[in-house]
Structure 1
Amino acid sequence: MLSALRKALNDAIKNELIEVNPLARWCYSKVEAPQSKDDIDPFTKEEQAAILAQATGQGRNLLQFAFWTGLRTSELVALDWADVDFVRGVVMVTRALIQHSKAAESTKTNAGRREDKLLERAMHALQEQKAFTWVKGEEVFQNPRLERRWEGDQPIRKTLWTGILQNAGVRYRNPYQTRHTYASMMLSAGEHPMWVAKQMGHAD
Structure 2
Amino acid sequence: MKWRWVLTFEYYAKIYIQIKRTELKPASLEKYENILEKVVLPEFGNRSIDEIKPLDVRLWFSKYNHRSPKTKRDYLIVLRGVFNEAFFDEKITRNPVDYIKLPKLHKSRVQPFSKDEVESILRNASGWRRNYYAIAFFTGMRSGEIIALRWSDVDFIRRTIYVQRTRRKGIETTPKTQSSVRIIPIFSDLLPFLEDQYKKTGNKNSYVFLNGDKPYRDTNTCIDRSWKNLLNRLKIPYRRLYNTRHTFATLLLNSDKFTKNQISMLLGHTNNQMLFQIYAGFIESEKDKIDLDFSILK
> What's the TM-score, normalizing by structure 1?
0.75
Q: SS at 2:146's partner residue?
A: helix
**Deviation of the 1:109 alpha carbon:** 2.2
1:167-187 Cα distance to aligned partner (Å, 9 max, x none): 111110000000000001001
AA aligned to 1:125 is: F
Shift in alpha-carbon separation, 1:40–1:147, aligned structure 2, 3 A: farther
- Quote the residue 1:169 is aligned against: 235
Q: SS at 2:140's partner residue?
A: coil
> Which stretches of structure 1, 4 residues or more, deviate above 3 A after TM superposition?
none
| Aligned pairs for 1:64-83 within 5 A | 64-83=134-153
1:106-129 Cα distance to aligned partner (Å, 9 max, x none): 124220111111111222211110
Structure 2: distance between partners of 1:165 and 1:60? 13
Structure 1: distance between partners of 2:108 and 2:179? 18
- Quote the residue 2:160 is aligned against: 90
Structure 1: distance between partners of 2:154 and 2:108? 28
Q: Which has the higher contact order (CA 8 A, sep 6+)?
A: 1
2:187 pairs, out of 119, 136, 139, with 119
- Quote the residue 2:119 is aligned against: 49
| Aligned pairs for 1:118-197 within 5 A | 118-143=186-211, 148-155=214-221, 156-158=223-225, 160-190=226-256, 191-197=258-264
AA aligned to 1:87 is: I
Q: SS at 1:97's partner residue?
A: strand
**Deviation of the 1:38 alpha carbon:** 6.3
- Percent identity of paired positions between Structure 1 and Structure 2: 31
The reply to whether residue 40 of structure 1 matches residue 110 of structure 2 is yes
Structure 1: distance between partners of 2:173 and 2:157? 26
- Structure 2 spans left out of the alignment, 5+ residues: 1-67, 69-106, 272-298
Count the aligned residue pairs: 165
**Deviation of the 1:140 alpha carbon:** 0.4
Maintained 8 Å contact 1:58/1:142? no
**Deviation of the 1:147 alpha carbon:** 5.9
**Deviation of the 1:192 alpha carbon:** 1.1
Maintained 8 Å contact 1:65/1:121? no
Shift in alpha-carbon separation, 1:41–1:69, aligned structure 2, 3 A: same
Moved more, 147-156 or 176-185: 147-156
